[in-house]
Amino acid sequence: MEKVTIQDVAREAGVSLGTASNALNHPEKLKASTLQKVQSAMSTLGYMPNQSARLLAGGRNASFGLLLPSLDHGLFLQIANGAHSEARRHGFGLLIASADDDEQLQRSYLRYFMGTQMAGVLIQPLRIHDAPLDADFPIPIVYLDLHCRQPGYFVAVDNRAQGRLIAEHAVSIGSRRVSVIGSCEGPQAEHRVRGIRDVEATNPSVDFDYLLEGSTGLARDGFMMAQRIAELPETERPDFIIALSDVLATGAIAGAQDAGLRVPDDIAIAGCDGNPLAWNDSVPLTTCAPTGYEMGRRGVQFLVEQIGDGAGRERNPPVEEDPCHQTLIRPFLLARRSTVRG
Amino acid sequence: MEKVTIQDVAREAGVSLGTASNALNHPEKLKASTLQKVQSAMSTLGYMPNQSARLLAGGRNASFGLLLPSLDHGLFLQIANGAHSEARRHGFGLLIASADDDEQLQRSYLRYFMGTQMAGVLIQPLRIHDAPLDADFPIPIVYLDLHCRQPGYFVAVDNRAQGRLIAEHAVSIGSRRVSVIGSCEGPQAEHRVRGIRDVEATNPSVDFDYLLEGSTGLARDGFMMAQRIAELPETERPDFIIALSDVLATGAIAGAQDAGLRVPDDIAIAGCDGNPLAWNDSVPLTTCAPTGYEMGRRGVQFLVEQIGDGAGRERNPPVEEDPCHQTLIRPFLLARRSTVRG
DNA sequence: GAAAGGTATTGAAGCGTATCAACGATATGC
DNA sequence: GCATATCGTTGATACGCTTCAATACCTTTC
């Protein structure tokens, strides 16, 4: 049963190689009876087309690649789901890979996707800096979660608005002193902090302080930071903690509770990136996030836009007029128990 | 910048085609200076190897395929993570696809993986019935979540034990009357019910009844079933609901609460498949699950076992002595607020 | 200094398919 | 009945690469 080639199929069906190939790619060109013969030959032989050979010979790949930073964030799952359903709707497959927070691996998968002549690639880069790569690439690329004033397709996330929403929420529930914890490394975090500062600027009566130490982003960092905060004398102690990620926030809740504080009565705590996988049972977490599903969906739409609908169709002529295609996905606030008293 | 072939690289570096190829696949065969020349030629030209051509010419694919039933179950994410890290540890990549609960699509991805000569495929089939496929396939396959007395590699999940654990839990907290809700379609559900019946048999004093109607598996089904249960006169009303999935359980909690029952005080409710994505904030859900991470990890180990460690190494001689390679992943109980009173 | 043994490089063959110009068969028009 | 158009089929070619036998170059040895 091994190694059935289209040659074998052709022989079995008593037709030429080209005809057998046509049965696969242009069935409308064959007489019904011939098609029938070839197809039954294929199934009796258990023929499976060799993808590599098809692509090499000039066939089009009907799959998109999705390259995510990692697999342990709920947002990525949503993105994958959105991308998947949209891809399917247009007759494309979707292959997902994770860079596992490793730039080396990210590059390697990207090259792999290029090398397999994917119909297009959706990528959420690990760093802003990774964006300009696309100039070199011969297949359509769409970047996720990235503002970028460059020619190219971007599904941008308004991280700044995310920070703003959370900070506004803190202000609106009457907080007097807000601590922002987390590491400000990634571009995302940086923008979120900027959004928080926007709110700070317009609310001078509220104190904001920033504990943006290089953290690994693990829950235990949040735990420790919350404990440090809890040790402050009550007059200096913040009544609201904004954690730059939900994982951190979850740790912070545990840390605060461990130190004897009640959440949200003594101190309110919010996350900032809508990661269902980080939520645990102690206190439902207030957070803020874009809809990942929509991100994936829009991303694939951009890809389809570039190469044309349907797996086999022509590639669209390149759209030159406005070389900057961006969609901005708006975040929404999810206000829950960890900040809402009563 | 388009279409740089290894020919171009060879010309640029002033070496032959074969040497350029060796720089990629057997760098140890080249003189250091030659290797240097070729590599710099590659980077100045922006060369990216054509995966299809490599495979077609006999190269080995250093990636595994993971084919999941869908992307909206937390367990699948864990599986993906486990598989990914183990694959990486052995120098393999991992490409993930989702069958989206569609058998047609499952077949199609499977053929795609075959056609693209993946080093191996990890698949969690939609139905038990999908198992025997492997006889026809020329590359290593490992099945997930499947008992099967056939030659082949299986990472089995003890769904029966899952049912047993939950049912034992119900008995152990003193329940008198247990309702089991859900649809008994998939093999998983069937086994879970069997486990529940095991417990029923050894605890004649506890009433079990089964409401196994064809449900779509959506939360709203759980909602409605719980409402129906809540309408029963208090003497006949069960004090424990086992939902065959966490999604259903979450719906059931909402339904019970909507009908004025307190969870867990008036009625305890448990899920059965450990799906973090289904958990919401109302009441932390008691559930039961295998560790997906371990499943993915073991699955990839089985693959590696068949083809040999390292991307480039020889394929191991087929192990014939015991043609049935199974690992049984044990589930664990997660007892939380939705069943634990006080 | 010639033979023997290594080591580094070459170039041709072939992987399985899609494509396409050429061809044969069948139908159409006069 | 012949030329012409239409449809179905054929088979050679090329895709970019890996592999491998053959070759060229460089050391070592007696």
Annotate B80-134 with DSSP letters as a single string.
HHHHHHHHHHTT-EEEEEE-TT-HHHHHHHHHHHHHTT-SEEEE--SSGGGGGGG
Name chain B contacts of A111, Cβ cutoff 8 Å: 48-49
What's the pTM value of the predicted model, to 2 decimals?
0.91
| Residue found by looking up tokens 């700044």 in the block | A160
How many whole angstroms separate alpha carbon B139 and alpha carbon B117?
Answer: 7
Q: Please give the backbone phi and psi of residue B297, each rounded to the nearest 5 degrees, phi first.
A: -65, -50
Confidence of residue B311 (pLDDT cuts 50, 70, 90): very low
Q: Answer for the pair B180, B190: CB distance below 8 angstroms, yes or no.
A: no
HSE-up (13 A, CA, CB side) for residue B72: 16
A105 in contact with B at a CB cutoff of 8 Å? yes
Partner residue facing A84 (CB), from B56, B80, B100: B100
- Which residue in chain A is spatially nearest to B51 when comparing CA positions? A115
Partner residue facing A51 (CB), from B3, B95, B115: B115
Q: Looking at residue B312, what is its pLDDT?
A: 42
HSE-up (13 A, CA, CB side) for residue B266: 19
How many whole angstroms separate alpha carbon A159 and alpha carbon A136?
Answer: 28
Measure, in angstroms, how far nucleotide C9 C1' is from residue B58 CA.
21
Tokens of A170: 């803190």
Q: How many CB atoms lie within 10 A of CB B121?
A: 24
B277 in contact with A at a CB cutoff of 8 Å? yes
User: Any idea what the Cα angle at residue A80 is, between residues A64 and A73, rounded to 5°?
Assistant: 135
How many whole angstroms separate alpha carbon A299 and alpha carbon A82?
Answer: 9
Which strand C bases fall within 7 angstroms of a protein CB? Answer: 7-21
How many whole angstroms separate alpha carbon A58 and alpha carbon A61?
Answer: 9
Q: Answer for the pair B55, B117: CB distance below 8 angstroms, yes or no.
A: yes
> For residue range B119-142, what is the model confidence (pLDDT) as tens digits?
999 999 887 665 555 556 778 999
Q: Looking at residue A314, what is its pLDDT?
A: 45
Say which range, B25-39, B104-118, B312-326, has the weakest mean pLDDT: B312-326
Tokens of A25: 């790619």
Task: Answer yes or no: do B281 and A276 touch at CB < 8 A.
Answer: no
In angstroms, how far is CA A87 from the centroid of its own chain? 15
Walking along chain A (342 residues) 10 residues at a time, the average pLDDT comes out as: 84 90 89 88 90 90 94 93 96 95 92 92 82 67 80 88 96 95 82 95 95 80 93 92 94 95 94 88 89 96 81 47 78 93 78
Q: Which residues of A156-171 are buried (b: 16+ CB within 10 A; e: fewer)?
A: bbbbbbbbbbbbbbbb
Q: Answer for the pair A292, A82: CB distance below 8 angstroms, yes or no.
A: yes
H or E element in which residue A236 lies: none
Tokens of B128: 């038990």
